[in-house]
Structure 1
Amino acid sequence: MFSRTVIRSATRSFSTSTVALNHANRAIAYTQNGDPAEVLNVITYPKLSPPSPNTVNIKFILSPINPADINTIEGVYPAKPSWTSDLASSGWGSKGKQVYVGGNEGLAKVVEVGEGVEGLKKDDWVVMDKPQLGTWATSRNVSFEDVIRLPATGLTEAHGATMTVNPTTAYNMLHNFVKLNQGDWVVQNGANSAVGQLVIQIAKALGINTINLVRPREDMAPLHRQLEGLGANKVLTYDELNDKSLRGKIKEWTNGKGIRLGLNCVGGDSTTAMAKLLGQDAHLVSYGAMSKQPLSLPTSLHIFKNLTSHGFWQSNWTKTHSRAEKEQLIGDLATMMRDGKIKAADHVVVTIGGQETNEEAIEKVRDVFSRMAQGKFGKKVLLRLEDFSG
């Protein structure tokens, strides 16, 4: 835990003793890039005014902490926060100082609708359409075009909160590069990652088979059971890629049909070996580089197998597709979640309570990020911020 003395020193300018009674809202924010466990603070700000035309006031229910959120705070991620404000009335810092509110993904409820808003009403659940809106907050006012209504009832809060990053990435990679039919095969590495597990589930729902590569460990049985329980057809380790008999086994599994789609979030030698398993006219889609090693592909794969290599970033997809396409995507995923075809991510909820002072809340938030950096959670962390009532 962080020293309370340190926290008090860092937050003296916006101690709760200076907060007016109408400052019911809270946000997790920062003014400079750096280690989240050092630069994040919790601030209070006034209750929202009635929404102006074409905007809605929303109240956040749950908001996840994703790896990209941490990279954004550190200043090493391509996406930059878009919600900035001097928040002078919060009492934090000097007038005109930029405040960046963390969070890219989240589930919110519409609490008030402005004039001219179409397709949204009070109590609708919504997810974010615009990247980097600042979702680690209690409430905020947004353009109605910056959120998308969840069309399917029966969703859990965790489903809604984690809707727009990992599930959309998995769904789009399975749909946007190769026209896959029932019975086709896909190979992926990082299969036990959040996206990898969603690829397995969505592929199963579509009748598509998956070969799933993971890092070797002493006891593989639990991971085999976990991924096969999600719908994985085959689970292999990267070491098994060196087995000369593997190609023959794959040919038996696929009945001689070539694998036309490979999904890569690792890079390095294991991805090179995985690419060699792909068939004629296949596509390799890279969406991460967890090994921090470059992607190296034999020229022969391009010449003789006509391999095509792509990169994929969901934020770019969001920027380049119509609202109707995004609503369709969210609708399809929400239906799959409602029907039990996609499980909610294994998660833990961290609540910033309304009775906690800013100093106590900051200490809790920074401790969460410190523990995440040490790998002590092992689950998706979802934030719930309560209105300040201390």
Structure 2
Amino acid sequence: MSQLLVTSYGDPRESLTLERAPSPPLGTNDILVEMEAAPVNPSDFLLVQGGYGLRPQLPSPVGGEGVGRVVDAGGAAGTQLVGRRVVILPTYEQGTWADKVATSYRNVVPIREDGDPLQLAMLPINPATAYLLLQKFTKLEAGDWVGLNAANSAVGLCVVALARMQGLKTLGIVRREAAAQSVRDAGADRVIVAGDDLPAQIADALDGAELGLALDATTGPIVADLAAALRLRGVIVTYAFVTDVSPSVRAHDLIFNEVTHTGFWLLNWLRHAPRTEIEQTYHTLNDLVATGELSVPVDATYRLDEYHEAIDHAMTPGRGGKVLFTFT
């Protein structure tokens, strides 16, 4: 088998190596997945840089999610999965940037046989994050507004699409006009290219309405502007960051509008949610992805031995979609 390993914490363009080795022996609870596709995500880069929420002992396999088919099992627990197509959950107990992945049977969810493997490979992180952000933090009714920055990101586009299916309205904020059209195409009701007076832009776009939920993927001063647009006891959730600038909500909004600011990390949900909830969530999203109702733009695919080019491409600002490894 071939797999990418993190050999040192630092620049992803310099910290990975391609290893070729026999497939490892399988434990009683293990299965072997022959991979079809695996995305390259910002969270993967953050892990390689040493700034993620966990820091594995090196050398360590890398890659958070992917799709493939189970070809072997080490014991009775995984035998029923042999031959099934599965998505690998981002528990980070295994790496998915590999042509074969050995992991516990509990780290996968079997899915439908149909559907684009590239879209299915991206199912475990971004669609799941978007779905849970809309479900877990506040009660939203049809017609309520959801505001989000980084609206052109994979999670952002999934939020817009899922919110539209639920009858919610979305206000998407982007940094470049070139990124705005993809958010409009996804179904956002309003799209703002952030300018010098973002609070005024938000107020104008909402035209007297208030946000029920705000979603933050950048941190920094924009958090305060989103929080100020929330209704009484509205919620703002930070689920990603691009800088070390701390997110802040103004004391006026915290006290007088009783705004709640919290965080979300998908791995915590995977660790603590009931197995039935996890499987039900992924099966719901699998149906939407398999039928094409939910999708994320793809910019390019690469073979595993082209990892230098793949990493460079994925780290290029202004990409038009995701970068993935594919395997045959």
Same fold (TM over 0.5): yes
CA distance in 2, matches of 1:246, 1:69: 32
Match of 1:239 in 2: 195
Structure having the higher Rg: 1
Q: Who is 1:262 aligned against?
A: 214
Deviation at 1:240, TM superposition (A): 7.1
The equivalent residue for 2:32 is: 57
| CA deviation after TM superposition for structure 1 residue 334, in Å | 0.8
Give the unaligned 5+ runs of structure 1.
Answer: 1-24, 85-97, 353-360
Residue type of the alignment partner of 1:341: E
The counterpart of 2:5, out of the listed 3, 13, 29, is 29
Q: 1:142 aligns with which of 90, 103, 121?
A: 103
Which residue, 248, 266, 283 being the options, matches 2:235? 283
Determine the C-alpha separation between the residues in 1 that align with 2:279 and 2:293. 19
Whether 2:310 is the aligned partner of 1:368: answer yes
Shift in Å, 1:242? 4.2
1:42 paired residue number: 18
CA distance in structure 2 between the aligned counterparts of 1:385 and 1:369, rounded to whole angstroms: 16
Deviating above 6 A after TM superposition, structure 1's stretches of 4 or more consecutive aligned residues are none
Q: How does 1:291-370 map to 2 (within 5 A)?
A: 291-352=243-304, 361=305, 364-370=306-312
Amino acid across the alignment from 1:42: L
The equivalent position to 1:69 in structure 2, one of 31, 44, 62, is 44
Q: CA deviation at 1:291?
A: 4.7
| Residues 158 and 296 in structure 2, CA contact (< 8 A), matched pair in contact too | no
Q: AA paired with 1:155? A: G
Greater mean deviation of Cα atoms: 272-281 or 262-271: 262-271
C-alpha distance in 2 between matches for 1:244 and 1:75: 38
Pick from 170, 186, 210 the counterpart of residue 230 of structure 1.
Answer: 186
For the residues of structure 2 that align with 1:229 and 1:108, how far apart are their CA atoms?
Answer: 30
In structure 2, give the amino acid aligned to 1:72: L
2:233 and 2:259 in contact (8 A); partners too: yes
What RMSD in Å do the two structures reach over aligned CA positions? 2.4
What's 2:146 paired with? 186
Task: Report how far residue 261 of structure 1 moved.
Answer: 0.6
Distance in 2 separating the partners of 1:245 and 1:149:
44
> Which whole-Å deviations, capped at 9, do the CAs of 1:313-349 have from their partners, x for residues lacking one?
1111111112111101101111121233211332311
In the alignment, the residues of structure 1 paired with residue 198 and residue 113 of structure 2 have an alpha-carbon distance, to the nearest angstrom, of 47
What is the distance in 2 between the residues matched to 1:224 and 1:374? 18
Instruction: Quote the sequence identity (%).
Output: 26
State the Cα distance separating 1:129 from its structure 2 match.
3.0
Equivalent residue in structure 2 for 1:272, among 224, 234, 246: 224
Question: For the residues of structure 1 that align with 2:222 and 2:181, how far apart are their CA atoms?
Answer: 23
| Gap runs ≥5 in structure 2 | none
* Structure 1 range deviating more: 228-237 or 123-132: 123-132
Partner of 2:324: 382
> Given the superposition, is the C-alpha separation of residues 172 and 119 from structure 1 closer, same or farther in structure 2, using an over 3 Å criterion?
farther
Q: Partners in 2 of 1:149 and 1:312 — Cα distance?
A: 25
Residue 54 of structure 2: which of 68, 75, 79 is its match?
79
Change (3 A) 1:45 1:127: same
Tell me the equivalent position of 1:101: 61
CA 1:145–1:327 in structure 2 vs 1: closer, same or farther (change >3 Å)? same
Give the aligned length. Answer: 327
